[in-house]
Amino acid sequence: MALHMVLVVLSLLPLLEAQNPEHANITIGTPITNETLTWLSGKWFFVGAAFRNPEYKQATQTTETEFFYLTPNLTNDTIELQESLTIDDQCVYNSTHLGFQRENGTLSKYVGGVQIFAHLIVLKKHGAFMLAFDLKDEKKRGLSLYTKKPDVPPELREVFQKAVKHVGMDESEIIFVDLKKDKCSQPQKQQLELEKESKKGP
């Protein structure tokens, strides 16, 4: 198990820079635990991504902003995903269920009848996570970043830029979203969110 994990990490990620020990903790294949799921629960902002897969790349280019709620169910191993996307200056809502594989730390989603996988990379300290797609495939690989807060501190941007380079892509491939384009957070909707938050309690 441990050896397998080491091999997976070595084969997928070029060696992480030794100079900054902080980045050495970005590894894939970390199992998903109940604790991870509880931490994932709640509201997230899509910050940016570097995608080589043309479909994902196009979707990122057309999505002006996106925030979403994750509601994991620890019993049936699904995560409800409720998305609010701004596309063409309009707010679009969407809802679906994600799957997850605890043992290899992946999330999965059915898209057009096909199950796609992404490795979850938790950046707990930064209140953020990344998803890694098809890292072995030079033409399809991708890395995306999500945060709990809409504002992204420069050091997190840097962590992401480095991670993108480490998986064999160029910084210039990153598309960051512009949250000022958000059309889903009208006052009334914000109110609804507040109610939702307050219902959860402290």
Q: How many residues bind ligand NAG (CB under 6 A)?
A: 19
Residue 163 CB neighbour total at 10 angstroms:
21
Whole-angstrom Cα Rg for the chain: 17
Give the per-residue contact string, 59-98, with ligand NAG (x = CB under 6 A; - = no).
--------------xxxx-x------x------x-x-xx-
Among 5, 22, 98, 149, binds ligand NAG (CB under 6 A): 22
Between 125 and 144, how does the x/- string for binding to ligand NAG read (CB under 6 A)? Answer: x-------------------
Query: Does 34 sit near ligand NAG (CB under 6 A)?
Result: yes
Q: How far is the CB of 63 from ligand NAG (least distance, A)?
A: 8
What residue ranges bind ligand NAG (CB under 6 A)? 21-22, 25, 34, 73-76, 78, 85, 92, 94, 96-97, 101, 104, 106, 117, 125
